[in-house]
Amino acid sequence: MLSALLKDTEAKTTVAIPMKLRKLGNAYCATILPICTDIRSYVTAPSKTTMASATLVQPSGEIWKKIRVELNEDVNTRDRDLEHMKEWLRKQPHLPDEWDEGRMMTFLRGCSFSLEKCKRKMDMYFTMRAACPEFFTNRDVKRPELVDLMSRAQGPPLPGLTPNGRRVTVCRGLDKNLDMNQLNDAFKVALMIGDVRLKEEIEGVGGDIYILDASIVSPSHLAKISPTAVKKFLICVQEAYPVKLKEVHVVNTSPVIEKIVNFVKPFLKEKIKNRIFIHSDINELYNYVPKEMLPEEYGGNGGSLSDINEAWMKKLEEYTEWFKAEESITANESLRPGKPTNYDELFGIDGSFRQLSID
């Protein structure tokens, strides 16, 4: 049905309208063209050519307009805000002098164009890149340990968007013997994808939805989870990246899942704790994420998750040299005004982190 609608819409926009225009003139264009545009704006699932790819479909039409409001983005003032952030960055002795405008705009959007929040996030982003070499160095998916991990687990973003413009990422393990000592590598790959999205989400999205498939999780996995690794990763997600986490859905659950969720909750912000949904029936997920955009493995029409994941691994491989060049782009604590960041305090046993100076 979706492909038929797209085909019909294409026909209207590329054939029917021009033929009518020759007969009816500009008045017809003014009436019909916005209608056709609105139809396309609500069709956010990927086409067949992008279904099993690493292409990130960007919002357009009415959804794009709605997201602009949600992100507090004013097209008349956003360039001024961007210049403010560029000037601020140049004045920070411990941070890079320059950074590309696209990623800075993504940070502004993720911070709802709050300049002070954007400064805190960007400072923490560069700080975490220095503080967590296990996540931010050796980012080459051809390395044996990452090749092995990717044969055991998957976690790609889906190409399409939900009707309200949110990006969906599906994470699942494939091997019940998945070694929890690979947790740092799993977090590394997740943040590699996050960095690619910083570059490629050029229009901004209405937030993120994560689907976590717990089908292979066992009590032995819980016993081997590293609290330090989890804390570091969640600081990255919540404080260092411009992520608007709207929903987390856990599917294919077992009794141990409640214990794992309770283990993680102390490291989560209160609002995120309230956005975790555990589903005993996959059909419950369809109330939140349209079935047609989900991968085939979850009853949807969005192509194979394995194929989407393979496409993302190829994309990450293409970014290998870029990742290598990015390794040196970090905070330099010896140059930070005032007291340098103490990593022991940053990753305190209670999972808290101290406020960074942004003035």
Instruction: Say if residue 224 is in the same domain as residue 134.
Output: yes
Residue 274 has pLDDT above 60, yes or no: yes
Question: How many domains, in total, are found in the chain?
Answer: 2
- Note the pLDDT of residue 299: 96
Residue 14 has pLDDT above 80, yes or no: no
- Note the pLDDT of residue 45: 53
Instruction: Say if residue 93 is in the same domain as residue 32.
Output: no
Instruction: Say if residue 266 is in the same domain as residue 234.
Output: yes
Alpha-carbon distance of 47 to 66, in angstroms, equals: 22
Residue 21 or residue 117, greater confidence: 117
Instruction: Say if residue 36 is in the same domain as residue 55.
Output: no
Strands (E), the chain: 153-154, 157-161, 167-173, 208-213, 245-251, 276-278
- Retrieve residue 155's tokens: 């976690």
Instruction: Say if residue 53 is in the same domain as residue 37.
Output: no
Write down the residue that tokens 């987390």 correspond to.
Answer: 248
Least confident of 17-21, 122-126, 170-174: 17-21
Instruction: Say if residue 28 is in the same domain as residue 67.
Output: no
Mean pLDDT for the stretch of residues 168-188: 92
Q: State what percent of residues in the chain have pLDDT above 90.
A: 72
For CA atoms 294, 212, 323, 203, give the dihedral sign.
Answer: positive
Least confident of 67-76, 172-181, 264-273: 172-181
Residue 40 has pLDDT above 50, yes or no: no
Residue 351 has pLDDT above 50, yes or no: no
* CATH, residue 206: 3.40.525.10
- pLDDT tier at 13, thresholds 50, 70, 90: very low
Alpha-carbon distance of 281 to 272, in angstroms, equals: 22
Instruction: Say if residue 38 is in the same domain as residue 81.
Output: no
- Note the pLDDT of residue 178: 82
Instruction: Say if residue 32 is in the same domain as residue 55.
Output: no
Instruction: Say if residue 238 is in the same domain as residue 356.
Output: yes
Instruction: Say if residue 356 is in the same domain as residue 239.
Output: yes
The mean of the pLDDT values for the chain is: 86
Residues 6+ positions from 329 with CB-CB distance below 8 Å: 96, 99, 126, 129
Instruction: Say if residue 78 is in the same domain as residue 11.
Output: no
Instruction: Say if residue 314 is in the same domain as residue 337.
Output: yes
- Retrieve residue 107's tokens: 């940070």
Range of the domain at 103: 49-359
SS3 159: strand
pTM listed for this prediction:
0.83
User: For 89-122, how does the pLDDT look when each residue is reduced to its tens digit (9 = 90+)?
Assistant: 999 999 999 999 999 999 999 999 999 999 999 9
